Amino acid sequence: MDNADMQRFLQQEQQKAMMGEMVGKLTSVCWDKCITGTPGSKFTSGESTCLTNCAQRFLDMTMIIAKRFEMQ
């Protein structure tokens, strides 16, 4: 493995770690916001809608922030 391959590998691993961290944060934030009480075997329609909207807003904001940093 040459230096360029090692750099690509490290960059890919860093991206995987960042994605894992983002998924964990998204799960925590949206779960706390949308799930009240003890969940049953299925989400209620309100919980499901809340989770979907929360996740979408989180991802949208992540993209906006990432683009903002790219411009600087």
Per residue in 35-65, pLDDT tens?
A: 988 878 899 999 999 999 999 998 898 888 8
> Is it the case that residue 12 has pLDDT exceeding 70?
yes
pTM: 0.66
Per residue in 14-28, pLDDT tens?
A: 888 888 888 888 889
> Residue 72: pLDDT band by 50, 70, 90 thresholds?
low
User: Please, what is the average pLDDT of the chain?
Assistant: 87
- Burial grade of 35 (CB within 10 A; 0-12, 13-18, 19 or more): middle
